[in-house]
Structure 1
Amino acid sequence: MKKVLVFVTDGFADWEASFVTPQINKPDTGYTVQTIAIDKDPKISMGGLTVLPDYSLQDAPLEFEMLIIPGGTGWRKEKNHQAKKLVDVCFEKDIPVAAICDATTFLGMHGYLDHLKHTGNSLPYLKEGAPHYRGDEHYIEEQSFSDGCLITANGTGALEFTRDILRKLGILEEEQLREWYGLFKNGSVNKVVD
């Protein structure tokens, strides 16, 4: 099974990866979801869910297909910026990175958004949270945006974020993806929204 890693911190926004992880983890996809954190200590989400990480940064797998980084309160804590090592590996090896909400601010703090099209909670929010950010001209006002090996989303775009991830991993074909999105966005498989 090919691995997709979800980076968790104390205070991670559990709902931001809640649509995508069950779709990736279905038995027929060929993928499995595993968690990674700076260490193997249990992490407690904003919703009070306790997650025991599968990996720490010290024993991260050498091969994986994507890194998903939910937002949350943890990205304002310096200790979690150790995740930069893993993100560096992803960019060096062209492994897709998918970040949502404050995880996009974390990427902005470290220059990953300076040369790729991206989105986030808002441009002013991103600039306030990441003072060294220099990607203004590449900022796109969208719920989620994919550019090469980077997927970014604002905190209200979990469905669009999921859609972009599923497309990138090839888990659902376009018609299936439209139906899936329509179901969760509108509560009906008959009404399709692009």
Structure 2
Amino acid sequence: MLPITIVITDGYSDWEIAPLSGLGRAFFGAPIHFASPEGGALHSAAGLHIADTARFQAPDRGVVVVCGGPALEQGESVALTRQLQAAHAQGCIIAGICGGTLALAHAGLLQHVQHTSNAPGYLDQHAPAYSGTIRYVDQPQAIRDGAIITAPAPAPASFAVEVLVAAGGDRTAVSVIQQLLAKEHFG
């Protein structure tokens, strides 16, 4: 399986990556690494303290995941934008959930692919350079279009499946994540 780098920011929405990071590593052996745009200490939205994170540098292969969080709604991180563009240019698959889709919009990665996010207008509101509205799909599940994966906040299960498949996981095997989590709501 290809390496998966999850980029988190201070206040990151920990529930958005829980199925991917927890189930992905524990049940599917996914090689998952964490980083942040500047490196250093962070807190999750739930208050989990992380003493240190590596500074995010564009890998030359694998999947780069940007987790949502309020820091991403505060404007563009030039360092993150450059690293995402470099990772994409090197052939990495780039994924964003919730506010993580803003980082993809700032990096110009959503103009030519179908994508989703939190709601129509969310990307326009928070990423002034975003110009992919015509390709926006308003749906509650993750979307993969080529080397780009996007998802709204309440879609961590379908997001986990798409990321793990992109990393080389078998779709039938990893789809169990979505099936298990759906049982609570749909029997």
Displacement of 1:61 after TM fit? 6.8
> What letter corresponds to residue 37 of structure 1 in structure 2?
S
Structure ranking higher on relative contact order (CA contacts 8 Å, 6+ apart): 2
Secondary structure in 1 matching 2:121: helix
TM-score by length of 1: 0.84
Count of residues in Structure 1 that have an aligned counterpart in Structure 2: 186
CA distance in 2, matches of 1:141, 1:79: 23
> What letter corresponds to residue 97 of structure 1 in structure 2?
I
Displacement of 1:79 after TM fit? 7.0
Q: Is the 8 A contact 1:5 1:64 kept in 2?
A: no
**Which of 150, 154, 178 is the equivalent residue of 2:152?**
154
Secondary structure in 2 matching 1:97: strand
- 1:141 equivalent in alignment to 2:138: yes
- 1:91 equivalent in alignment to 2:96: no
CA distance in 1, matches of 2:131, 2:76: 23
Report the equivalent of 1:163. Answer: 161
Question: Greater Rg, structure 1 or structure 2?
Answer: 1
Q: Tell which deviates more after alignment, 10-19 or 121-130.
A: 121-130
> What letter corresponds to residue 19 of structure 1 in structure 2?
P
Report the equivalent of 1:179. Answer: 176
Q: Is the 8 A contact 1:9 1:80 kept in 2?
A: no
**1:111-122 residue pairs with structure 2 within 5 A?**
111-122=108-119
Secondary structure in 2 matching 1:91: helix
CA distance in 1, matches of 2:59, 2:158: 29
- 1:15 equivalent in alignment to 2:15: yes
CA distance in 2, matches of 1:178, 1:5: 20
Displacement of 1:38 after TM fit? 2.4
Write out per-residue CA displacement over residues 117-169 of structure 1, whole angstroms, 9 at most, x where no aligned residue. Answer: 11001121221112221111111122210011100000111111111112212
Report the equivalent of 1:3. Answer: 3
Unmatched runs of 5 consecutive residues or more in structure 2: none
**Which of 107, 113, 127 is the equivalent residue of 1:130?**
127
> What letter corresponds to residue 48 of structure 1 in structure 2?
G
CA distance in 2, matches of 1:132, 1:38: 20
Displacement of 1:113 after TM fit? 0.8
Q: Is the 8 A contact 1:144 1:154 kept in 2?
A: yes
CA distance in 1, matches of 2:28, 2:160: 18
